[in-house]
Amino acid sequence: MASESENEMDNLVEVPEKKKKDKLKKKKRKLENGGETPAASKKQAKKRKLEEQKDEVEDEDEGESILETEYQEEKIETTGAYIPSGGHLTSVSFDSLSERGVSDLTIKAIQEMKLTTMTEIQAKTIGPLLEGRDLLASAKTGSGKTLAFLIPVVELMYKLKFMPRNGTGAIIISPTRELAMQTYSVLKELLAHHHHTYGLIMGGTGRQDEVKRLTKGVNIVVATPGRLLDHLQNTKDFMYKNLQCLVIDEADRILDIGFEEEMKQIIQLLPKRRQTMLFSATQTRRTEDLAKISLKKEPLYVGVDDTSDQATVEGLEQGYVVVPQEKRFLLLFTFLKKNQKKKMMVFFSSCMAVKYYNELLNYIDIPVLSIHGKQKQAKRTHTFFEFCNAETGILLCTDVAARGLDIPAVDWIVQFDPPDDPKEYIHRVGRTARAGANGHALLILTPQELGFLLYLKQARVTLSEFEFAWNKIADIQPQLEKLIEKNYFLHLSAKEAYKAYVRAYASHSMKNVYDVEKLDLVKVAYSFGFHVPPVVDIGVYQSKKGSKSKSKNGFVRPKQERKIKIFKNLSNEKEKKKFTR
């Protein structure tokens, strides 16, 4: 009997499996008395090793500000169609929150979101947070963390009767712009019947407009770390001395992309007497260190699914396919062409790869969207909401889109370029099978990369092998090579994507699985439309045996360096020159 996945892929794939009144009164008196004086500002941190990755998240491109308050009209279309509500559902209803003193205004908003039953993380955390507890929560991506902290935040502002003149009462820190926009959108839905001001501040938007709004008083601020620190240090009339609540969302991701120093400075600048909530998909030593400096001495720890046999959510059918290096694009092309009526996200290792394959696929009549860190913020925002609101479509993306975003009804996650580690794999596939729905994930591996499956197994992720009908794979390699040779702009884009792929491969942390020195560059070039590797300065260095000197990216760099051979396994010098024009 044919499996469901076989039918969905038109036979291309065969699949062989969340104290009371007295405390509130004290806080209200504190507001009237003017609050606390923030700690003196410190010097800006030095440039970090992960500066390039941070730039992808926080670059300061000129653009229109999207900070909004109750006095502003919407500048971004946010339909509410993608409100996070994932994770395992419980028998606890949202209506039961009225028994905990949650306002009718909030209950009404939740009902309008068409949410009825809480997820496990919501049921475990909302009650303690409403009581003012500090909390460290660990839950899988897609478990419904957003509402778990937003409901207590909104209720705190409501009970304290926060007004614009009181300044900022709550700050929510998100690692990326897209996740900040996602959180902001849900906050907007939740505040539909409240009168508190709220705003979004992040890199890539007009800073002066943000300054004006912060000066007038924004009760709830959703922010990315870099821009928040900038305003804390440099915006004189930013009224944050009355801060009552700090939320750090996706703490592990914030640290992963290099904001550890900024977070330490932010925490030192903010008032110490506050409620703090720290949410993280994974618990590492660095997140524990951040918890120690941000939370009170005895925070409540909440873990979800700690004893689960699988690190990924139920309803996710995930597998891998082994494909020769030179046939990677042919497989992707065939798969996308067969599934154009599905909603898919395809992950790549570099911005240049996303750019190239976006241009190529659209050129050959496979409509796709793309989102990556080198795009202007306005473009990223437009694409993000366009894909969120679409019923079908293909989104090509880098890992900037992989964390925390709740894009509705994604059928397939395709990892064209492999993830750096199991944690990254889990975050990528967390974009599908949300809110109790079903989803599918496909990991494309070459024979040399099969060792990655052992690490996935250790991380409690089990994949089935998907067997492709290779006689149904479209053999368009000759046409592809001819197109790339003739089309000047695609040729340039392909060269940059090829170079970025090899560099990204060399930067993998798991070098025993992803060994750049074992890459057959001729076969790599095929997937970019080249018959022979293009002449480019890859900037990757091979090591000489016996050297112990290491560079910042983990490569051994002896005194006498030698560049990796660009024309490995080539013999025809004329053929090389043919593709260098």
Each residue's pLDDT tens digit, 86-104: 456 788 999 999 999 999 9
Same domain membership, residue 442 and residue 336: yes
Q: Beta 275-280 vs 464-465: how paired, if at all?
A: unpaired
H helices of 205-308, where? 207-216, 225-234, 251-256, 260-269, 285-294
The rounded distance, in Å, linking the Cα atoms of 505 and 118 is 41
Same domain membership, residue 434 and residue 521: no
Same domain membership, residue 542 and residue 574: yes
Tell me how many domains the chain contains: 3
The pLDDT of 247-256, averaged and rounded, is: 89
Tens-digit pLDDT profile for residues 22-36 = 555 555 555 555 444
Q: Which of 230, 258, 254 is nearest to 48 (CA)?
A: 258
Last residue of a domain, one of 436, 468, 500: 468
| pLDDT value of residue 559 | 37
Same domain membership, residue 229 and residue 171: yes
SS3 of residue 343 by DSSP: strand
Which residues sit opposite 433 in a β-bridge? Answer: none
Is residue 40 very low, low, confident or very high in pLDDT (cuts 50, 70, 90)? very low
Domain membership of residue 59 (yes or no) is no
The rounded distance, in Å, linking the Cα atoms of 204 and 177 is 9
**This prediction's pTM:** 0.61
Look up residue 235 and give its two tokens: 């915006």
Domain membership of residue 242 (yes or no) is yes
| pLDDT value of residue 581 | 35
| pLDDT value of residue 562 | 41
- Which residue range is the domain that position 425 belongs to? 309-468
Give the other-Cβ count within 10 Å of 450's Cβ. 12
Q: Which of 508, 503, 551, 49 is nearest to 258 (CA)?
A: 49
Q: How many residues does the chain have?
A: 581
| pLDDT value of residue 22 | 57
Same domain membership, residue 498 and residue 383: no
Point out the least confidently predicted range of 70-74, 301-305, 310-314, 445-449.
70-74
Higher pLDDT, 17 or 411: 411
Domain membership of residue 292 (yes or no) is yes
What is the chain's mean pLDDT, rounded? Answer: 79
Last residue of a domain, one of 240, 272, 303: 303
| pLDDT value of residue 26 | 59
Domain membership of residue 11 (yes or no) is no
Domain membership of residue 419 (yes or no) is yes
The pLDDT of 35-61, averaged and rounded, is: 44
Point out the least confidently predicted range of 63-67, 262-266, 367-371.
63-67
Same domain membership, residue 133 and residue 254: yes
Report the phi/psi class of residue 93: left, alpha or beta, with left for phi > 0 and alpha for psi in -120 to 50.
beta
Which residues sit opposite 317 in a β-bridge? Answer: 440
Maximum Cα–Cα distance across the chain: 84
| pLDDT value of residue 404 | 53
pLDDT at 48 over 90: no
